[in-house]
Each structure stands twice: as structure tokens, then as C-alpha cells.
Amino acid sequence: MRIRTLALATTAGAALLAAAALPADAVPARAQADAVPAQAREGSVTADALLAKVTSCSQISNGRYRTDENTAATVPVCDKNGAVFWKADMDIDCDGQVTAECNEDTDPWFQDQTAFPQSDGRPLNSETLPHVVVPSPSGIWDYAGAGVKGGSVAAVIYDNQVQYAVVGDTGPSKIIGEASYATARALGIDPDPATGGTGSGVTYIVFTNSRVSPIESHSAAVSLGEELAKRFLQNN
């Protein structure tokens, strides 16, 4: 959940326009690859089925979150049987291990750590691991008190797709709506940490009292996520 300045946004926009004016063979390979992201194809539980269970909100947060620094606080955290959820935007988290896509050159806000590390003690790899970001504890809401922890499983829903992820990082205490480069890319959202993301339309369902071990195993997240999603549909 990065706080972007107008100057940075303007510079990024100019860079994108310049790239668009170049012939295809002059655009860097990374930009060409990002233009056609892999789509999420995980599990048998559908986006429609999950969304049908989160049409109303039993608010458990003591207030509401902003989606960006300069927006109004409009997003509550809501309670369901076996999960919490919120509906927001998606900013791109590229923090953690230094990779070709996530580093100080590609991400103006890059940090070489994540709140929850891998089983070997290293930070998560945001380029390859689907994970979501929860707000740091505050008077608005404390995720730990709701049964959410590092490695908890989340179903991230966008454009009729479901992507399973883990809770992998924490962000600003008053802003919500962020996920890793890998999560965005799998959902067809521009994963560029400086200019990407989407302004709305993302639903985050985090299954409470769940935990993937090791946290870096996406296959384990998919397996547990599918099991918990089916239970969620049965119990709500």
C-alpha cells in the first residue's frame, strides 16, 4: 500500500506513453511479458459462489479504512462464519526477496523484508508467491484478534476469478487493499509495483484460524484454501 506522490505518478504516466510509442521490438521484454499476465485457474469453488456469501457486511472493524492515502475511509472489515472479508482496490506489494521484477529499480517503495518470513527465515518472494497484505494493528482493527496470522489462507476474487494466497505482509494501519506481484499477475491485474494495480473490484476473504505451513508453499495454500472455501459456502 504505497503512498504515491503526484510527481511519481506523472513520471510513470509519461514513461508508459513513451513505451507505447515505441515499436514492439523496442519495448523491454519485461514490459511485453507483463502485458499478457497468467490468469488464475485454481480449484473448483467459483467466484460467483463466494461472492454470493459476502453481499452484506457485519462490520467488526471499529471504523473504516482508506484504499489510498488521499481517499475517504470507506472500507469496513466484515465478519462471516469462518472468515473475515473486505472489498477494496489492489495496490502491488513487491517487498521481500530481491528479484528481477521486485527491487529498488522497479519499485520506488521497495523494502527487502516482509512481516512474515519463509520457513528458512528469508523474506517472502513477492514475484512468485501469491500473498495479501493486512493493515498493521490499530484502533480500527487488529487482525490477530480476529484469528488472522501470517500464513492464513485468503481467497482473492477479481473479474470472476479466484486466486488463493496467504497473508504475507502488513501495511499502513489506516489503508487496506494490497497484494503481491504474483497475486496481481495471476488475476490479470497489472503487477507493476510503480504504476500497476486496480482501483476497485477486488474482494479479499481471509479464512480465520487457518495457517499454511510452510508459508511459501503455494500448492499447500491452494489445497487448504479450496477445503476452507467449500466449508465457508456450507456454513454461511
For 161-204, the pLDDT digits (tens) are 999 999 999 999 999 999 999 999 999 999 999 999 999 999 99
Contact indicator for 108, 2 with CB cutoff of 8 Å = yes
Q: Nearest CA to 95 among 84, 103, 86, 106?
A: 103
- Residue 160's region, left for phi above 0, alpha for psi from -120 to 50, else beta, is left
Task: Place 124 in a pLDDT band, splitting at 50, 70 and 90.
Answer: very high
Locate 125 and state its grid cell. 518472494
Q: Nearest CA to 226 among 75, 43, 81?
A: 43
Identify residue 56 by its one-letter amino acid code.
Answer: S
Give yes or no for residue 7 having a pLDDT over 90: no
Find the DSSP H helices in the chain: 6-21, 29-34, 47-51, 181-186, 218-235
For 59-81, the pLDDT digits (tens) are 999 999 999 999 999 999 999 99
Locate 93 and state its grid cell. 506489494
pLDDT attached to residue 40: 54
pLDDT attached to residue 17: 36
Contact indicator for 144, 162 with CB cutoff of 8 Å = no
Q: β-strand 161-171 against 131-135: which pairing, if any? A: parallel
Give yes or no for residue 6 having a pLDDT over 70: no
What would the mean pLDDT of 5-24 be, rounded to a whole number?
37
Q: What are the structural domain ranges in the chain?
A: 6-235
pLDDT attached to residue 42: 79
Q: What percent of the chain has pLDDT over 70?
A: 83
For 136-151, the pLDDT digits (tens) are 999 999 999 999 999 9
Contact indicator for 112, 98 with CB cutoff of 8 Å = yes
